[in-house]
Structure 1
Amino acid sequence: MITGDATSQLKALRAGSIDAVGLMALTLDRIAATNPSINAVVALRDRDTLLAEAAQAPAGPLQGLPMAVKDLADTAGIATTYGSPAFRDHVPVADSPMVARLRRAGAVIIGKTNTPEFGLGSHSYNPVYGVTRNPYDLSRSAGGSSGGAGAALAARMVALADGSDMMGSLRNPAGWNNVFGFRPSYGLVAPSNPGDLFLSQLSTEGPMARSIRDLELLLAVQSAPDPMHPHSSGPYRPAPPKGRLRIGWLGDWGGAYAMEPGVLDLCGAAVQVLADLGHDVVPMAPPFSAAALWEAWTTLRSWTIAGSLGPLLHSAPDQVKPELRWEIERGLALSAADLRRASTIRSDWFRHTAGMDVDILALPSAQLFAFDADWTWPRQIAGRQMDSYHRWMEVVVPASLTGLPALCVPAGFGPPGTPMGLQLIGHRGRDACVLNLGRAYEAATSWIDRQPAP
């Protein structure tokens, strides 16, 4: 089994204590032993081909490191299905810009990590590859939409993983798999999807890892500036720690967010670690209407999804899952007034966060522990009914709506024996501040050392 994080593996490669071919062989052996029960890595490439590519990996910060790319990002010569049967046989001829950056940095792309159809929903299952299971309890979900990435990291199949986050997709699976996931400020990692670059600002790519230093390693590669993108603000630049921070603990947003028993206890204890480190932790009353945030979020999300995936209702109507059909139809029915109201709410929330007298907002990364992997989505939390397929992830909306940097750190293990995470949300553009806080938290805790059973 491969030990250590990506930084230590790369150090060993440079020191000559292992070569890239040997690391690739160990990685593929680990995947062969572990992946059949978890189903995190999909579209795995031929062993001999990968060993040959490892021997010829180009020089760079990730030289010789095996990586599997989330199955929402195009990979030249490797099946990219987006989890949809309509794209079961789709093999792109070119890499997405983010994947091209990984290759130039020396990473060897071994295959893909599993995701729900088109990334919709925080549970990684689809008709092409099936369900990804939680390494800590195979009967439970690994989360999503970067569930394959989170599970592969937790099971030590890979040392570093990319992901993307529209509605918690770098945070929910990180929390449920006991690893770190970071949603950067919008624009730090220039979005690689074609189309509109001004109105749709809900989703971003970012890193997942087993250490903060690994997050920064991958973020530095992902955030290469893109002169063709108007919001590109890369590259990521580390900064010295600021010192004492003021952290607002929001809990369940004054009762607005239903929480499974045990979630707030774990996350409250994690926040106390930050207080013990010398930061000022203050319980906060809800700073904004949760109902207004949800209205703006669901409007802008449905409108964005309808714009990008709406043609599927005509080209592949029998291959569109119910949740996607609901989003598209809802988006197509929106009026200009609906969109303006949603944009106004988003603007008001951004102004509010910019003016708050705290450096960090803290919230759980999910509202319940990993649920049954055979479910499509949870219908209730603590007796409260969920009225949509994504309502149970409402807790991630405050950061997503305005593109704030949000780090998920491991918060411990709940009554079911599965992990939970804590979101640390910063001000726009202050990504280094959030990651510095995460580094201090990492050093003060040992959750990451608790590995799944072999």
Structure 2
Amino acid sequence: MSDILDRDAIDLAADLEAGNLSAEEVMRATLDRIGEVNGRVNAIVSLREPDALLTEAQQADESKRKGWMHGLPLAVKDLANAKGLRTTMGSPVFADQVAQSDDIMVARMRAAGAIIIGKTNTPEFGLGSNTFNPVHGATCNPYDLTRSAGGSSGGAAAALACRMLPVADGSDMMGSLRNPAAWNNVYGFRPSWGRVPSEPVGDSFLHQLATNGPMARSPRDVAALLDIQSGPDPRQPHGCPVEPTLPGIETDVKGRRIGWLRDWGGAYGFEPGILELSEKALGHFDDIGCIVEEVPAPFAAEAIWESWTTLRSWSVAAGTAALYENDETRSRLKPEAIWEIERGLAFSAMDVHRASVIRSEWFKVAAGLFDRYDALILPSTQVWPFPIEWRYPERVNDTDMDTYHRWMEVVVPPGLLGLPCLNMPAGFNADGLPLGLQMFGRRGADASLLQIGHAWHAATPHFRAKPSVLTAP
């Protein structure tokens, strides 16, 4: 029965609709897999009682279909609210917080028929591309249990790799849908900012860094889930009607131009083997008829970093300052959160303005690049999955990291601009650790990127390699 878990979510959904499978069968297989694997990986947390889940699956079999996700199991990233489940955000401050309602994205997935089985693990407040926290512990990489699964959607990516979920949701401020996808050999998609709304809490105009989005084991499933998550929320100013991405995903991409940014003119350091394997993987674009050209660094990397760290700390502080100002809750925050908050509180309005001017200048330069290229490519990570006991890499090659997140600087250029960006599995090193490439385009080019990703998926073998936690005796 577990072989059904290897299948794409859309294929599972088609069999459920045709009556070739039941939601109860899928749920039993899912719970069996979680029982076999999750104790070693720790990707799914706050799992609901199996009997209740099986009952809900039986009810799905007996009821009218709500949408393509009808009867499929789903665990929600533990930064989002799912009614009746804990939303800990990995923080001891919220360890016992039970959600009273669904967030917008969760409500949309539930309305499409998904059965919410639990949550997926995340770092505290989603800060840091390493999934560990004092509430639920660390999520291990299923390709090497001694290594990190990345973050902050590390639990989601590891659960997908282990076939404990058919699709997953995540969120991305600084690579959180891309870094863990790369390290778990799955697809993670950061949508154009505003396409998938977050919650209408606090300011809805100023902060444009973080977004929710989909993860899956194929671009087709990514598109299907993105179409469920997408669409404006009338309470928020920036969203607009969007065209679905799934219907047009089967498209000839021959002749599309891809710009390879490599190491951004030497600005980004990469551990040995990453650039070499990335360039080898670029050869797959030849197989689908795309044209790849190397592109020199288009903008000063240090200016992008300055803009990013200012706007990020300002955003983090805006959302968590109340916890910092309370002596009791401040004592329970991790050092990285305190560092971000203190930086954010110290900025003046003109500091933030200057950072946004840099962002605006980079946006104009990027727009010119997209007049020549359909997409741009960078590696998704600068380092290989590191030992699970590390908080973060303190050095990349011979360079000391001056912040807890500098080792992920390569994800910043598209994230700062709110551009759509797809992590694509790109192969493995000699130790069997996965690598990913991030492909990004102009705002609104979500469908175009997924078309290229779909063609790439058909031409590459990387996604077929199962993690060692499923293959080792």
Counterparts in 2 of 1:193-272, with a 5 A limit? 194-238=201-245, 239=248, 240-241=251-252, 243-272=254-283
User: Which of the numbers 165, 169, 173 marks the counterpart of 2:172?
Assistant: 165
Per the TM alignment, residue 236 of structure 1 is displaced from its structure 2 partner at its CA by 4.2
Per the alignment, residue 107 of structure 2 pairs with 100
Computed over aligned residues only, the root mean square deviation of the Cα atoms, in angstroms, reads 1.1
Contact 1:299 1:342 (C-alpha < 8 Å) held by counterparts: yes
SS in 2 for 1:337: helix
Per the alignment, residue 317 of structure 1 pairs with 330
Q: Which moved more, 1:124-133 or 1:416-425?
A: 416-425
Per the alignment, residue 23 of structure 2 pairs with 20
Per the alignment, residue 423 of structure 1 pairs with 438
Partner amino acid for 2:190? R
Structure 1 regions of 5+ residues with no counterpart?
A: none
Partner amino acid for 2:53? L
Per the alignment, residue 449 of structure 1 pairs with 464
Percent of aligned pairs sharing the same letter:
55
Q: Which moved more, 1:237-246 or 1:109-118?
A: 237-246
SS in 2 for 1:69: strand
How many angstroms apart in 2 are the aligned matches of 1:252 and 1:3? 35
Contact 2:153 2:180 (C-alpha < 8 Å) held by counterparts: yes
Counterparts in 2 of 1:176-187, with a 5 A limit? 176-187=183-194
Contact 1:189 1:234 (C-alpha < 8 Å) held by counterparts: no
Please tell me whether residue 378 in structure 1 is matched to residue 385 in structure 2: no
Partner amino acid for 2:134? P
User: Which of the numbers 399, 409, 423 marks the counterpart of 2:414?
Assistant: 399
Per the TM alignment, residue 176 of structure 1 is displaced from its structure 2 partner at its CA by 0.3
Contact 1:241 1:433 (C-alpha < 8 Å) held by counterparts: no
Q: 1:36 to 1:222 in 2, by over 3 A?
A: same
Per the alignment, residue 43 of structure 2 pairs with 40
Counterparts in 2 of 1:113-192, with a 5 A limit? 113-192=120-199
Contact 2:401 2:407 (C-alpha < 8 Å) held by counterparts: yes
How many angstroms apart in 2 are the aligned matches of 1:280 and 1:325? 45
Contact 1:296 1:342 (C-alpha < 8 Å) held by counterparts: yes
How many angstroms apart in 2 are the aligned matches of 1:47 and 1:140? 29
Contact 2:253 2:288 (C-alpha < 8 Å) held by counterparts: no
Q: Which moved more, 1:241-250 or 1:384-393?
A: 241-250
Q: TM-score, normalised by structure 2?
A: 0.94
- Paired residues, what number? 454
Contact 1:179 1:409 (C-alpha < 8 Å) held by counterparts: yes
Per the TM alignment, residue 193 of structure 1 is displaced from its structure 2 partner at its CA by 5.1
How many angstroms apart in 2 are the aligned matches of 1:332 and 1:229? 25
Per the alignment, residue 284 of structure 1 pairs with 295
SS in 1 for 2:55: helix
Per the alignment, residue 364 of structure 1 pairs with 379
Per the alignment, residue 343 of structure 1 pairs with 356
Contact 1:412 1:421 (C-alpha < 8 Å) held by counterparts: yes
Contact 1:71 1:112 (C-alpha < 8 Å) held by counterparts: yes
Contact 1:188 1:236 (C-alpha < 8 Å) held by counterparts: no
Per the TM alignment, residue 355 of structure 1 is displaced from its structure 2 partner at its CA by 1.3
Per the TM alignment, residue 8 of structure 1 is displaced from its structure 2 partner at its CA by 1.3
Structure 2 regions of 5+ residues with no counterpart?
A: none
SS in 1 for 2:279: helix
Instruction: Tell me the alpha carbon deviations over residues 160-200 of structure 1, each in whole angstroms, 9 at most, x when there is no partner.
Output: 00000000000000000000000010011112251211110
Instruction: Tell me the alpha carbon deviations over residues 228-249 of structure 1, each in whole angstroms, 9 at most, x when there is no partner.
Output: 2211134442345554111110
Q: TM-score, normalised by structure 1?
A: 0.98
Instruction: Tell me the alpha carbon deviations over residues 227-286 of structure 1, each in whole angstroms, 9 at most, x when there is no partner.
Output: 222111344423455541111101111111110000001111122211342222111110
Q: Which moved more, 1:441-450 or 1:353-362?
A: 353-362
How many angstroms apart in 2 are the aligned matches of 1:3 and 1:304? 39
Partner amino acid for 1:314? E
How many angstroms apart in 2 are the aligned matches of 1:133 and 1:349? 36
How many angstroms apart in 2 are the aligned matches of 1:415 and 1:211? 24
Per the alignment, residue 317 of structure 2 pairs with 306
Partner amino acid for 1:167? M
